[in-house]
Copies of this chain bind each other. A is one copy, B any other.
Amino acid sequence: MGTLLVVGSVALDTVKTPFGAVEEVLGGSATYFSTSASYFADVNLIAVVGEDFPSQHLMFLKSRNIDLAGLERRPGATFRWKGEYSHQLNEARTLDTKLNVFETFRPKIPEAYRAPDVLFLGNIDPELQLDVLNKLPRPPLVACDTMNFWINGKRDALWRVLEKVDILIINDGEARALGEDSNLVKVAQKVLARGPKHLIIKRGEYGVLMFNEKQVFGAPAFPLEDVRDPTGAGDTFAGGFLGHLAATGNRSAEAFKQAIVFGSVMASFTVEAFSLDRLRILDYKEIQERFKAFKRLTHFEDLP
């Protein structure tokens, strides 16, 4: 089993969708990522929480075998996010963000974390992403996420990060903003020319596209009868994707495609319930079954 190091946010979320509402539940990009990846690989988590962070959440993360030596606990309050979704469920409307202890987050890397098989730089300030990269021997595989706030506000620092990573995982709106083009194929050409060997574009309910030098791979999202809360789907996807790559150590085109499907499978579970509630009760057999259902969803016979 490989080891995955993730740097990102742990938060308390207040979320409303047409199917319900929850307050101060476990959330954050690194939380979704770690929990998802924990089904595939050993996960080391670097993040920060405040004094108010409920111990039952720590116990849950420990129950998933996630190493918390890098989870700093600081004076002050935990990062809070409040958002709501309309019936379309495609984009959250942020009602409130309180960075709290996350505002002054400076990732500290425990000695035991210095040689991961895979590093995932969650959506944080590109300067901090660079800082993490400079503090570590180059891991065999490095992936990162970002958001429009950094694409627009710290474009130069972000490109310096991208020159050093293997995989960029973003959504379609972010891809268009980064590549300054509405056509995703052209965006991919621009991004791949400047560093990352793989560009993965998440399209919510419409699925995922992966571009690299050799191929384009496209997967629809798994059609679900009950989608309750899309929060964390993208980070859950990244966790399943990189978790599979960390677990197998295989870097073939085929391994990347299967990893995309594992990521999509994990995301399809997350959206079935609020917070991480579906992942709490998930077992590996269900993951395998949905992978096979995904194969049936997309498979057709080639021409002779």
Contact = CB atoms under 8 A, between A and B. Distances in A.
Interface stretch (A53-61, A91-99, A177-185, A274-282): A177-185
Given A182-B89, A203-B206, A206-B207, A258 B300 contact: yes
Interface size class of A (residues with CB under 8 A): 35 or more
Nearest to A291: B303
Contacts of A288: 303
B219 A298 contact: yes
Contact of A217 (B185, B224, B297): B297
Contacts of A110: none
Contact of A216 (B183, B297, B301): B297
Interface in A270-304: 288, 291-292, 295-303
Interface in A193-213: 203, 206-207, 209, 211
Nearest to A188: B223
Nearest to A211: B223
A292 B302 contact: yes
Copies of this chain = 2
Which of A18, A184, A189 has the most chain B CB within a 10 Å cutoff?
Answer: A184
A218 B215 contact: no
A254 interface: yes
Contacts of A299: 257, 299, 302
A87 interface: yes
A290 B17 CA distance: 40
Nearest to A301: B254
A266 to B, nearest CB: 15
Nearest to A298: B298
A88 interface: yes
A295 B291 contact: no
Contact of A295 (B223, B254, B302): B302
A135 interface: no
B219 A220 contact: yes
Given A218-B220, A258-B301, 4 more contacts: A183-B227, A186-B225, A189-B225, A257-B300
- Which 5 pairs from chain A and chain B are nearest by CB? A218-B220, A206-B206, A257-B300, A87-B182, A185-B225
